[in-house]
Structure 1
Amino acid sequence: MGGLRQVTASFVVPGPSGVAIRSSLKGLTGQDETVLRLVGALLGSLASRDLRARCAAGLDHDGEQWARRKQALTGESSSRWAGSITRSTHEQWALARRGQLAHIQGLQAGIETITHRLAQPVGAKGFKGAPGGYRSRREWSAKSRRLHVLEDRLEQVRADWEAGRVRVVRGGKKQRLRWEAERWFLQFDGESGKRYGNETIRITPSGEVSIKLPAPLAGLANAPHGRYVLACRALFRHRGGQWADRIAVNRAVAYRIHYDVGRNRWYVTACWQNPPVRAVPLQAARAGGLVGVDMNADHLAAWRLDEHGNPVEPRRFDYQLDGTAPHRTAPHSTATHNCGMP
């Protein structure tokens, strides 16, 4: 039979490559918020300037230019902050390039489809998955004009791609406060071997949050070595044990402090990379049978599958999610933990 979709061969999906958890910063004093805003605004302006310099360099950028950019930023912040800003800039530029390429491919696909349909007689039906002609002369004329627009746009985007030009905006401009908050820069990658895995934004096992202030704002420090300690504590409820294990042995943890304008709250996000793990071969995973689970609003429906993927034994685990948070968590955990099948 023609026209049927072919089923791709089964494969084992690799595990997550990283982890990100978040905690709200409750109990910040007015001075804390002032310092966070000042640090974010200063580093954000440096990040915007660095991004502009990177975009201007285009494809001619090299390691020597990177070093000059970092050196210029170091004098206005610190070597660590400068390194974090330049790394973020390179990631933004690379993301913009990937988006630009995807835009080119989308324009090409649209042009090919319209060109094909314009070449068909008006009202012609499609055949074997290929689209037919347009329904009327009016639609044909409109799509003909649309084709010229797309061709002009493709020419412009291709010229930008070949010249290495990208257009990146750090934050939007719909709401002034949100626009400013999105442009703040308060993030730093982790450093293995440094105390608690991060020398610049540090969170201790007890949840104390401190920031190494950039040089122009060192006068705001309330702790030794140019650090500012927030009055609140960060508490990671989700995967908090994993986070604590990492910082206990000084493994790298990256942090980002950000302000949610809609909720009027400050948050800190911690993230780290998982070590690469070799995926189990599909044949080995099937050897002892598998369990297929369907998550529903009030129950888990599970089937034990044999080595060929055939369902051989059903199970159902009911749980009630109404009520308080502790009540919802308890039955959900019980249902999840008891879903192992012989």
Structure 2
Amino acid sequence: MGNYLGRLYRTDLAIRVSKGTVPVWENGRADRKRELTKYSSSRWAGAITRAAEDQYQLGMRGLTAYCDTLTTNIRQLEKRLAVPVGTVDAAKTRGYRTPAEHRAKTLRLRHQEAALVTASARLSLGSPAIAVGGGQLWGARQNLAAAGLTRGQWRARWDAARMFLTADGESGAPWGNQTIRVETDGTLVIKVPTGLTDMMGAKLRLSVPVGFELRGAEWADRAAQNQAIRYDITFDADKERWYLNASWSYQDAAVIPPVTALQGGRIIGVDLNADHLTAGIVDASGNPVGTPAIIPLLVAGLSASTRDGHLRQAITTLLDHAEAAGAAAIAIEDLNFVDARTTGRETMGRGHRGKKFRRTVAGIPTGAFRDRLTAMAANRGIWIIAVDPAYTSRWGEQHWAKPLQKRTSSPTVTRHQAAAVAIGRRAHGHSITRRKDGVRSQQRMTAPTPPADAMVKPVNTRAPSGTVTGLPRRPLPRPTG
């Protein structure tokens, strides 16, 4: 069934790509759905055409971003190539160091210009390149030895990735879906496409019940109330296992509380890094509570689905930490590396060090983290506060690393833990910096000594009797005898 519907989906996607960029009323979805209904059903045809349209729009967004990246690279290359080798112009644009590097960058400029011409032509025609099954897996077919796969293993993965078993939910339908549904007792029922009814019958019913470990109670409530539930069935060729995923949407929050209301309680400041999250609790007075927690987030070199799973797990741990601390909000930096990733290698360092830095920047999932955290926190009733990311790491390390070190038993307090406290303080409306310890104006001091960095002024002969200018006013001891 997955292979059969997959062929229908790829055919419909090819037809949609051939139409190019057209208005919604001219993309022919109604005619395509009517034609697909002959071979499947009206609901299967609706799911296929909707998925094809979403995939086409995703491909166009990717092609547009690719053209923008090429344009930025070409502009930066031309700017640096115009400066003589080993010099800096009046605008502080640095030329390349050696003639060999200058020539290599010239060749790269020609390559980027040719790629931009090709990509721009595809963009103008509205014809993105889409590999159903994944471009990475398709590239592995060209070199199976490097991918560590045999031809049979690759074919099994490829066929599994090109299946289509997705059914959108429908409010009011029995158990929230009439195409793929799971009844309250765990029975999975699938509507068989028209082209396979002679072999499978009208419906396919699994004898083994299925269940959901995550949010099973919430799913059962929605299914009992006939609210819309979408189902996706996938097959893992390596593990030889079938997976059933259920998903649904929530209504937007009716009332968003003001920031001042959230600042009256505890806030979790979160510092996002390439391999971990750092979460620090800050109370309403701006004081850190305990030691900021470190949540691992290792996503480098992982596939998109696995990376998303690790990200969800880290966010779940973060939300559990916020609930345990009694925090009503989580503060994150309003940070995005889209511009930095677009500029590329020409403005983010050179050589091995620059490449390492670019990989680090590319490995920080800022956009995915922000979107996932917002959605998952809304389900827990936790709000998100975005703060300015300026100097949070630098000032956090300068002003909060030592105070945190004094109150914890850990050997070292990292700058990321201090940055989490700085983010939490900024969300509360407090300043990140701290006043230096020492004498305060109009405060009693137990010892009549100035701070170490204070400058003691000479004695003023016009000062009142019994006081010394430059020191706290305190009566001098009376002479005895």
Q: Please say whether Structure 1 and Structure 2 have the same fold, judged by a TM-score greater than 0.5.
A: yes
2:239 — aligned with what? 263
2:42 — aligned with what? 79
The normalised TM-score by structure 2 is 0.54
CA–CA separation in structure 1 for the residues paired with 2:72 and 2:319: 48
1:57 — aligned with what? 19
Matched, 1:135 2:97: yes
Equivalences for residues 32-43 of structure 1 within 5 A: 39-43=1-5
Structure number with the higher strand fraction is: 1
CA deviation after TM superposition for structure 1 residue 127, in Å: 9.1
CA–CA separation in structure 2 for the residues paired with 1:177 and 1:316: 45
2:211 — aligned with what? 235
Distance 1:120 1:244, change over 3 A: same
CA deviation after TM superposition for structure 1 residue 220, in Å: 3.9
CA–CA separation in structure 1 for the residues paired with 2:210 and 2:88: 62
CA–CA separation in structure 1 for the residues paired with 2:46 and 2:79: 50
CA deviation after TM superposition for structure 1 residue 111, in Å: 0.5
Count of matched residue pairs = 281
CA–CA separation in structure 1 for the residues paired with 2:319 and 2:35: 53
1:272 — aligned with what? 248
2:58 — aligned with what? 95
The normalised TM-score by structure 1 is 0.74
CA deviation after TM superposition for structure 1 residue 263, in Å: 1.4
Residue identity (%)? 35
User: Which of the residues 53, 71, 80 maps onto 1:117?
Assistant: 80
Q: Which amino acid aligns with 2:51?
A: S
1:251 — aligned with what? 227
Q: Which has the larger radius of gyration?
A: 2
Q: Which amino acid aligns with 2:188?
A: V
The structure whose RCO (Cα within 8 Å, separation 6+) is larger is 1
CA–CA separation in structure 2 for the residues paired with 1:286 and 1:77: 55
Q: Residues 237-295 of structure 1: CA distance to partner in whole angstroms, max 9, x if unpaired?
A: 11111111111101111001000112111101111112111543322211334345799
User: Which of the residues 266, 282, 288 maps onto 2:259?
Assistant: 282
1:165 aligns to what SS in structure 2?
Answer: coil
CA deviation after TM superposition for structure 1 residue 337, in Å: 6.1
1:12 — aligned with what? none
Q: Residues 16-65 of structure 1: CA distance to partner in whole angstroms, max 9, x if unpaired?
A: xxxxxxxxxxxxxxxxxxxxxxx101100000100010001112465362
2:342 — aligned with what? none
Equivalences for residues 297-336 of structure 1 within 5 A: 303-306=281-284, 310-311=286-287, 313-314=289-290
CA deviation after TM superposition for structure 1 residue 231, in Å: 2.4
User: Which of the residues 310, 323, 326 maps onto 1:340?
Assistant: 326
Structure 2: any 5+ residue segments left out of the alignment?
A: 142-153, 273-277, 294-317, 329-481
CA–CA separation in structure 1 for the residues paired with 2:70 and 2:206: 49
Distance 1:254 1:145, change over 3 A: same
Answer whether contact 1:54 1:61 (CA < 8 A) is retained: no
Q: Please, what is the CA RMSD of the aligned residues?
A: 2.9
1:182 — aligned with what? 161
Q: Which amino acid aligns with 2:98?
A: S
Q: Which amino acid aligns with 1:138?
A: A
Q: Which amino acid aligns with 2:232?
A: R
